[in-house]
Chains A and B, each alone.
Chain A
Amino acid sequence: MKRLLPYPSLTLVLWLTWLLLNGFSVGHALLGLILAVVLPLGTRPFWPQVPLVRDRMGLLRFVLRVAKDILLANLAVALKVLGPVKDLQPGFVEVPLDLRDSFAITVLTSTVSLTPGTVSADVSEDRTRLLVHALHVEDPQALVAEIKQRYEGPIKEIFEC
């Protein structure tokens, strides 16, 4: 069973995605199931070791918090974009990383990019620092502290690492 289904949740998500895209019918359920079993097997060498989600409620809380932040940050950035350009103080900020797992770091960088006003630009080769470009930053230290406390902390707790 483990050999046939190395990633059961990936198989489930692929199957559901296929059904959502193509509509529910017996034919598509079968075809989707075949694809959902074959695709993870075929792409297996490309998958990194994905850490287990330890704290499901924490994951839910994290998703809701990011959604709220996206909403609020959107409004703040909208005002900055429409306001006078010369008042902008863009900057590169370095965030030291406590996370070690590459998948967890990917989640963190994606979150930083999705929240408006910050884009993650690079991760250092030894995975200890993250370079973030901010559209408007008055206090770089405060931004670093916010990213670490609001996003990195919860991600660290959600995944076992």
Chain B
Amino acid sequence: MNVLIEWLVAIFVVVGGIFALIGSIGLARLPDFYTRLHGPTKATTLGVGGTIIASLLFFSWQERGLQLHEVLITLFLFITAPVSAHMLAKAAMHRDLKRMKGTRGEPWKQ
């Protein structure tokens, strides 16, 4: 396999993996529900993004033709991830979950 492609794929896999890991660390270590919500939104953007680019490069090279499944995955993720985050935040406000000390501003009561 071409060395250049090999390096590119490796870099994107590692970068994607690191960001997915940081997202998970955030999920485990941040103090309240609202701040924890930020971990997964991050993992879905750069974490999955890096992995998807690596996959696209690898399979396009191996099968000698542009592979576009990955583009669809990105599209679906970018449409659905904000909606689920929004619904989670709304549910959390509805249940009036505890906020971290020092949180500024107030959630709405609707």
Contact = CB atoms under 8 A, between A and B. Distances in A.
Interface of A: 17, 20-21, 70-71, 74, 77-78, 81-82, 85, 88-94, 109-114, 116-117, 119-122, 124-125, 131, 133, 135, 137, 140
B55 to A, nearest CB: 15
A122 B29 contact: no
B33 to A, nearest CB: 10
B88 to A, nearest CB: 9
B72 A119 contact: no
Nearest to A123: B86
B81 interface: yes
Given A20-B71, A110-B82, A113-B85, A122 B31 contact: no
Interface of B: 19, 22-23, 25-26, 29-32, 34-35, 37-39, 41-42, 45-46, 49, 68-69, 71-72, 78-79, 81-83, 85-86, 89-90, 93, 99-100, 102-108, 110
Contacts of A82: 22, 25
Contacts of A122: 86, 89-90, 93, 107-108, 110
A109 B42 contact: no
Given A78-B42, A81-B39, A133-B34, A125 B103 contact: no
Nearest to B68: A20
A119 B105 contact: no
A17 B72 contact: yes
A117 B22 CA distance: 13
In terms of DSSP, what is the predominant structure of the interface of chain B?
helix
Contact of B38 (A70, A91, A119): A119
Given A85-B30, A85-B31, A110-B82, A121 B22 contact: no
Q: For A82, A91, A113, A125, which residue has the most chain B Cβ atoms within 10 angstroms? A: A113
B103 A113 contact: no
Contacts of A94: 105
Contact of A91 (B25, B69, B86, B103): B103
A70 B45 contact: yes
Contacts of A71: 46
9 contacts: A20-B69, A21-B69, A90-B34, A109-B86, A113-B41, A114-B78, A114-B82, A116-B41, A124-B110
Contact of B72 (A20, A85, A91, A135): A20
B82 A81 contact: no
A131 B108 contact: yes
A92 B103 contact: yes
Of all A-B residue pairs in the complex, the 3 with the closest CB atoms, nearest first, are A92-B105, A91-B104, A113-B82
